[in-house]
């Protein structure tokens, strides 16, 4: 992306949702804004301050941070989706009055707020402060279109306990996607309508579409039909696609240590990859949050073992299943590497030896796979990942479907076959992977994403002039 720095005197606040998969892309966008001369204050909770380190050292004068009060540790409702809703509400209750006081007492307050889509309540804060609020979506435009549709008209199933394959259709979304009931995130279902946390989440998500603008970590040619759709839905053109915002090769922000430390040092990973042939390694990762069940883990390990492919496996497993992973690692020897915890995913995917990527289809992983030009194998686990898999397989033809959550666990022999097939360099998906990689790079090197980011800054500057 363009790195021409011209001082704008614009001061904005960036407020990520306090989870690594949400914080890092908004920090990457912040980095791009800083290179264009803006001043940014990042709002961060105490446990995530370390994620700022590479950005603070790169922008020592224009990047500030404000440490927000930490949530009390007793927000532990089950099931997991209830925990997410409770955290979202608790953040509002704790941070709204704190931020209101901070803004009102600041000698040179920010002229805009850009905040994660899980923080839709900041739209109301921005209205009280009389500043524009930008919703930042770490998910794609297709996923956001689906979320908007489900928030506006919550999916209904008269027998959700029995008919988990009941088909939900979204005819107002382009391409009319359909989903079996079990793929609908619980926080969008009509059976929770009496729950105050559910209602808070719904109103918070709808507030995203009432905000002054929406910024996507995506690029125009990847999801053009959905960007057009969202502009019609919100009734204006302040919908910007500025991604992929992840650092380009050689950028210090893209160092292997960003986001956390790996159980396998990066230099050892690179040495192992350097000894492999081009496009000969399958990288397997299900993100930083998904925990594989024992059945999923056994199928995956068996498939990798039977396939004969070289691989890097990064997966979270229940504490009582660690011995399965340890025994598997011992049997595989030098044919594969097993990483526990965080993996330097961007660095791994960019290596010439990696030819395919078995992924849970989180949006960060989708973009990292696309820009690296590798073929993807999809095994979504939850949330908008099923939508992202639809995009990759059925609409972009850049990926191969393997599994779906715990309901459609692939046969280990079939999965082993697909792992081998994914490294075949003459597949149609290889051609599409190269095309989309080129399109992503073009977008951020003077193309549509660069232009959208410049236009976003121009419109913010115009607002500042009117003050």
Range 364-385 average pLDDT: 95
Which 3 state secondary structure label does DSSP give 466?
helix
Q: Any bridge partners for residue 43, and if so which?
A: 66
Q: Work out the mean pLDDT of the chain and round it to a whole number.
A: 90
Residue 288: per-residue pLDDT: 75
DSSP readout, 149-169? HHHHS----S-TTT-TT-EEE
Residue 1: per-residue pLDDT: 46
In the chain the domains, ranked by start, together with CATH numbers, are 11-248+446-466 (3.40.50.2000), 258-441 (3.40.50.2000)
Active site residue 116: yes
- At 238-253, the pLDDT tens digits run 999 999 998 877 676 6
Catalytic residue among 11, 22, 81, 360: 22
Residue 333: per-residue pLDDT: 86
Please list, residue by residue across 305-336, b when 16 or more beta carbons sit within 10 angstroms of its beta carbon and e when fewer do: bebebbbbbbbbbeeebeebbeebeeebeeeb
- At 162-206, the pLDDT tens digits run 788 999 999 999 999 999 999 998 888 866 566 788 889 899 999
Active site residue 81: no
Q: What proportion of the chain, given as a percentage, has pLDDT over 70?
A: 91
Give 272's pLDDT tier (boundaries 50, 70, 90). Answer: very high
Catalytic residue among 11, 28, 59, 116: 116
pLDDT of residue 95 exceeding 60: yes
CA–CA distances in Å: residue 451 to residues 1, 152, 349, 437: 10, 31, 27, 19
pLDDT, greater one: 111 or 321:
111
How many angstroms separate the CA atoms of 146 and 142, rounded? 6
Half-sphere exposure of 346 (CA within 13 A, CB side): 23
How many angstroms separate the CA atoms of 416 and 421, rounded? 9
Of 6-10, 181-185, 272-276, 444-448, the poorest mean pLDDT is in 6-10
pLDDT of residue 81 exceeding 80: no
CA–CA distances in Å: residue 346 to residues 247, 367, 437: 9, 10, 14
pLDDT of residue 415 exceeding 70: yes
Residue 281: per-residue pLDDT: 97
pLDDT of residue 367 exceeding 90: yes
Residue 265: per-residue pLDDT: 82
And the tokens for 442?
Answer: 């073009």
Residue 73: per-residue pLDDT: 63
Half-sphere exposure of 193 (CA within 13 A, CB side): 10
Instruction: Give 198's contacts (C-beta < 8 A, 6+ positions apart).
Output: 85, 187, 192
Residue 199: per-residue pLDDT: 87
- At 44-60, the pLDDT tens digits run 999 999 999 889 989 99
């Amino acid at each position: 992306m363009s790195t021409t720095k011209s001082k704008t005197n614009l001061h904005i606040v960036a407020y990520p949702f306090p989870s690594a998969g949400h914080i890092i892309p908004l920090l990457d966008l912040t980095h791009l804004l800083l290179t264009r001369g803006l001043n940014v204050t990042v709002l961060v909770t105490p446990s995530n301050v370390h994620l700022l380190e590479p950005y603070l050292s790169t922008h020592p004068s224009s990047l500030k941070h404000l440490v927000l009060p930490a949530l009390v540790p007793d927000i532990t409702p089950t099931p997991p989706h209830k925990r997410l809703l409770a955290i979202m509400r608790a953040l509002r209750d704790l941070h709204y009055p704190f931020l209101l006081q901070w803004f009102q007492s600041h000698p040179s307050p920010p002229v805009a707020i850009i905040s994660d889509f899980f923080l839709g309540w900041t739209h109301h804060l921005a209205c009280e402060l009389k500043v524009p609020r930008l919703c930042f979506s770490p998910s794609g435009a297709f996923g956001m279109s689906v979320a908007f549709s489900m928030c506006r008209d919550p999916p209904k199933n008269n027998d959700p306990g029995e008919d988990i394959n009941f088909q939900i259709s979204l005819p107002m979304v382009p391409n009319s996607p359909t989903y079996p009931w079990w793929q609908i995130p619980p926080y969008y279902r009509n059976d929770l309508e009496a729950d105050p946390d559910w209602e808070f989440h719904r109103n918070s998500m709808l507030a995203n579409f009432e905000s002054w603008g929406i910024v996507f970590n995506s690029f125009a040619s990847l999801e053009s039909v959905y960007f057009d759709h969202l502009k019609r839905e919100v009734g204006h053109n302040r919908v910007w696609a500025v991604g992929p915002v992840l650092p380009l090769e050689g950028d210090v922000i893209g160092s292997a240590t960003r986001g956390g430390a790996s159980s396998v040092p990066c230099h050892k990973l690179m040495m192992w990859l350097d000894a492999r042939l081009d496009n000969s390694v399958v990288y397997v990762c299900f993100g930083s949050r998904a925990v594989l069940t024992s059945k999923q883990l056994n199928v995956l390990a068996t498939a990798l073992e039977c396939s004969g492919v070289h691989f890097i496996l990064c997966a979270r497993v229940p504490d009582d299943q660690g011995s399965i992973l340890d025994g598997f690692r011992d049997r595989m020897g030098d044919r594969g590497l097993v990483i526990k915890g965080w993996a330097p995913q961007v660095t791994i995917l960019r290596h010439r030896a990696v030819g395919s990527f078995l992924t849970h289809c989180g949006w960060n992983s989708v973009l990292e796979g696309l820009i690296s030009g590798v073929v993807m194998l999809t095994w979504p686990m939850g949330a908008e990942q099923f939508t992202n898999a639809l995009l990759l397989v059925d609409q972009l033809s850049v990926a191969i479907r393997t599994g779906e959550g715990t309901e459609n666990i692939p046969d280990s022999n079939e999965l082993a076959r697909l792992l081998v097939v994914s490294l075949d360099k003459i597949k149609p998906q290889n051609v599409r992977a190269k095309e989309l990689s080129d399109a992503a790079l073009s977008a951020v090197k003077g193309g549509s994403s660069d232009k959208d980011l410049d236009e976003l800054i121009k419109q913010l500057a115009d607002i500042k002039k009117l003050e």
